């Protein structure tokens, strides 16, 4: 990953969150979205049929926010709610995740 670097945190409810944010110029926005697509395609393939609220027993879910800002900047935030199994597989596939 060139643009997305994920941080891992655990909520008081025990649900893990993997979150990445990238703020780039419009010219690099497509590359950021390609990384988002890569992560989501991996999650959907590896945990097929297991997407949904983690608090309801699903393995993962996601939230994607794209904000266009002044001066031609675009900020992308990808948040993944994750079970321990999903987070472990994510780290194995995409490497080190900051805590």
pLDDT tens per residue across span 7-65: 999 988 889 999 999 999 999 999 999 999 999 999 999 999 999 999 999 999 999 99
Cβ–Cβ < 8 Å for 43, 31: no
**Residue 99: pLDDT above 70?**
no
Residue 1 lies inside a defined structural domain of this protein: no
Taking the C-alpha atoms of residue 24 and residue 19, their distance in angstroms, rounded to an integer, is: 17
41 inside domain: yes
What CA–CA distance (Å, rounded) separates 64 from 85? 21
Structural domain contains residue 53: yes
Q: Is residue 57 domain-resident? A: yes
Q: Residue 14 sits in which domain range? A: 7-94
pTM > 0.85: yes
Residue 29 falls inside a structural domain: yes
Residue 99 lies inside a defined structural domain of this protein: no
What per-residue confidence (pLDDT) applies to 14?
83
Give, for 78, the enclosing helix (H) or strand (E): strand 73-82
DSSP 79: E
Contacts for 29 with CB less than 8 Å, ≥ 6 apart: 74, 76
User: Could you tell me if residue 21 is inside a domain?
Assistant: yes
Q: Structurally, how many domains does the chain consist of?
A: 1
């Amino acid at each position: 990953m060139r643009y997305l670097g994920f941080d891992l945190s655990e909520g008081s409810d025990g649900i893990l969150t993997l979150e990445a944010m990238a703020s780039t110029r419009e010219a690099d926005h497509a590359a950021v979205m390609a990384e988002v697509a890569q992560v989501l395609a991996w999650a959907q393939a590896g945990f097929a049929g297991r997407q949904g609220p983690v608090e309801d027993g699903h393995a993962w879910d996601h939230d994607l926010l794209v904000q266009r800002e002044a001066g031609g900047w675009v900020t992308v935030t990808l948040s993944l709610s994750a079970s321990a199994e999903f987070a472990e597989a994510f780290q194995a596939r995409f490497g080190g995740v900051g805590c």
